[in-house]
Structure 1
């Protein structure tokens, strides 16, 4: 456990330029970082043109994270305007990278668009724009220094809910890929493309987003021991690995009622009715992929794509190829969904329709305060990475682990910024004052990545497919009886499910 303190592919004509070969020490395998021209100019259509590689991105204040008090009547309008802010940034990033105007001209237009939308948010909140002042300005930020308000410090996780022992000073111990050369047996191709080389339509990932997992030092701390009043059981629910037909680029928690609100594609397990227009009644009436049919919860996360130069079914779609999310979507090998206890206290039942997001889809520009998801390889689970993708040796699979917040304010199923109603437990397992312990959702997803193929998580286009932007979403739609069964199991120290 990490320390916690706080639709089918189709081939088209394409060119794959090899820009680096990252050899795994001792493993004999190599990852080819390729810049895939996955959707060239078809019939002169600019919308299908590959996004140009640039060593930077647009950084804007994350308005949604700053809103702590939005009247319930105003939330639908505020949510739609927040989604419009994301849409404006995505379009501005694409204009800038396609050289449709100078950087200053693009940023000026973006400022005007954001100002109008922020005004709409203020009006929806009854004219209160005190939380919005000064949030229209955006800037171009070099990829090597992006980090927003909570600057990343040499790749080491900082802030609440994070782990120690990560990359120090921008270097990974024992052979991380660096600038002009490699250590520990790794080497670059002679035809390296400078800046944001390789990856999804030129907007990431970069070569130094990967690290050989065998060179990473163990960094996982043991969880606190359960005290006399603690709870040490585990409840597991089996819900499969996701149906490709259910994938979409919506996010019903952050952008309800807005199609393509995520600007990247999600995999879904559990409830089969999750899209932008779902509501609590929709979930109640939906089916489920979970073996226990009383678990209609929805669990969803951004897909991972192999950077293989092949078109997916969404190659020409928003949320897919039009926004730099390209390559073959990898179906998980497994998805393990567990609910765990609390070292200090018995857990109480989650309320139905409780919404929780872990991680931050905009952590590359926001900073790492809410970055919580981690990457590793099977057989190396004592080495967890947040801001690097792991290169796994032969026979080892890539893993993503999501530890969700396990403390609840006892009143709300959501909050204006989708975070304030839940919190992470402290190092000793204790919840903040006013919060109570609930079962902690831990989701571990495993992938068999094709040999010699880099990969990347889907994301907002301006986030450059950085691993630190990984995140996971959950809405509890368990029946009351099943939730109580889970609570009883966890509080009695049993392993159930």
Structure 2
């Protein structure tokens, strides 16, 4: 049976093309990781989380309907009760103390959080004509690795980048490690997820093997998916702006050094990582993708930024993350 015939016979995949961009306020900032360290309270390092309020210490795969479990979302579209999270950025002072770097909202009125993209072609391709398959209930994945500390380790993770922002509109150039100069508009961290799926598994033991990057080229260049992962997914891009303006002392940026570290203890920037748990309600994402729209989302319901900001989860860890700290939460050493 030919591959295309096999895929059609499985009855799983509805092709679609569109681009979606929306803001999400911060849901919570806690030392929890229900994907990599389920049931561990606290987990090894701090994360910033957006999305549905069913986020918890443990989120077992059998409880995959996040839309049914959540009563609100910190994202613009009420149908998106997914969860997205990344590590947290800290400033390390010369005396060895640490201060959490605040997040800047890119969408007016949002409290921190991120901007999320779902796209079928390159970001500024208004045609968005390629076909992709929407994620399925229970789908989850991880990009990056919190233990990595150099470029060779991180080589397989494409397009986990940083932008040293001159102002709110800066989108280039992109760096693969932390900027080594003060950034007047803050540091944007970009997380682009893999875009090819094996078509069978909603997850894998390392949360990565069921997905892949294009066999050659990139998602933006239309690179083909490998035969092992033939199903083309929309690309998820997360943009987080860290407001580093209060920490831009030139004395901290000398001899190639810089003062920022991830909550995992990484001062290189190569440990950048992000987690995704799919939680769109019913077939709302598929319906949007089927609409062939660029940025606009006529089939989706929006909520006010005030309601986004109100959606929170309780503090389940109970530790100080906002004072000047003598060590990173969890005591992670800087390396």
Is the TM-score greater than 0.5?
A: yes
CA offsets, 1:292-314, max 9 Å, x none? 2211000111111233589xxxx
CA distance in 2, matches of 1:420, 1:472: 15
Structure having the higher strand fraction is: 2
2:260 counterpart (456, 465, 469): 456
3-state DSSP of counterpart to 2:283: helix
* TM-superposed deviation, 1:249: 1.6
Query: By how many angstroms is 1:413 displaced?
Result: 1.1
Task: Show the counterpart of 1:285.
Answer: 69
1:469 counterpart SS class: coil
- Alignment RMSD (CA, Å): 2.8
What is the alpha-carbon distance in structure 2 between the residues aligned to residue 289 and residue 444 of structure 1? 15
| Other-structure match for 2:6 | none
Aligned partner of 2:88 in structure 1 is 303
- Cα 1:330–1:307 shift into 2, 3 Å: farther
Does 1:328 pair with 2:100? yes
Counterpart in the other structure of 2:171: 381
Paired residues, number: 246
Within-5 A mapping of 1:322-401: 326-334=98-106, 335-342=114-121, 345-364=130-149, 367-372=153-158, 373-378=160-165, 380-394=170-184, 396-401=185-190
Secondary structure at the aligned position of 2:241 is classed as strand
Contact 1:375–1:390, Cα closer than 8 Å, also in 2: no
Distance 1:325 1:469 in 2: 21
* Contact 1:363-1:371 within 8 A present in 2 as well: no
CA distance in structure 2 between the aligned counterparts of 1:264 and 1:467, rounded to whole angstroms: 15
Alignment of 1:63-462 (within 5 A): 233-240=18-25, 242-243=26-27, 246-261=28-43, 263-279=44-60, 280=63, 283=66, 284-286=68-70, 287-308=72-93, 326-334=98-106, 335-342=114-121, 345-364=130-149, 367-372=153-158, 373-378=160-165, 380-394=170-184, 396-425=185-214, 426-427=216-217, 428-433=222-227, 434-449=229-244, 450-453=246-249, 455-461=259-265
Contact 1:371/1:386 (<8 A) preserved:
no
Per the TM alignment, residue 474 of structure 1 is displaced from its structure 2 partner at its CA by: 0.9
**In structure 2, which of residues 294, 297, 301 is the aligned counterpart of residue 494 of structure 1?**
294
Partner residue in 1 for 2:269 = 467
Question: Does the aligned pair in 2 maintain the 1:231–1:342 contact within 8 Å?
Answer: no
Q: Give the number of the structure whose residues are more often helix, by fraction.
A: 1
Offset of residue 368 of structure 1: 1.9
The corresponding residue for 1:213 is none
Give 1:257 deviation, angstroms: 1.6
Q: Given that residues 357 and 474 in structure 1 are in contact (C-alpha distance below 8 angstroms), is that contact kept between their aligned partners in structure 2?
A: yes
> If you compute each CA radius of gyration, which structure gives the higher value, 1 or 2?
1
Partners of 2:202 and 2:236 in 1: how far apart? 15
For residues 183-231 of structure 1, the C-alpha deviation after alignment (integer angstroms, 9 at most, x for no partner) is xxxxxxxxxxxxxxxxxxxxxxxxxxxxxxxxxxxxxxxxxxxxxxx97
Conserved 8 A contact 1:392-1:398: no
For the Cα contact (< 8 Å) 2:165–2:183, is it kept in 1?
A: no
TM value normalised by structure 2? 0.65
- Whether contact under 8 Å (1:403, 1:443) holds in the other structure is yes
Q: Per the alignment, in what secondary structure is the counterpart of residue 132 of structure 2? A: coil
Q: What is the CA distance between 1:350 and its match in structure 2?
A: 0.7
Given the two structures, how large is their TM-score scaled by the length of structure 1? 0.45
1: CA distance, partners of 2:174 / 2:16:
25
CA contact (8 A) 1:302 1:457 kept: no
Evaluate the alpha carbon distance shift between residue 370 and residue 325 of structure 1 in structure 2; reply closer, same or farther with a 3 A threshold: farther
| 2:188 aligned counterpart, secondary structure | strand
Q: What SS is found at the alignment partner of 2:289?
A: helix
Cα deviations by residue, 1:70-115 (Å, 9 ceiling, x for unpaired): xxxxxxxxxxxxxxxxxxxxxxxxxxxxxxxxxxxxxxxxxxxxxx
Structure 1 residues 350 and 393 mapped into 2: Cα distance closer, same or farther (>3 Å)? closer
What is the alpha-carbon distance in structure 2 between the residues aligned to residue 332 and residue 353 of structure 1? Answer: 31
Moved more, 277-286 or 289-298: 277-286
Question: Which structure's relative contact order is higher, taking Cα pairs within 8 Å and 6+ residues apart?
Answer: 2
Divergent runs of 4+, >6 A: none
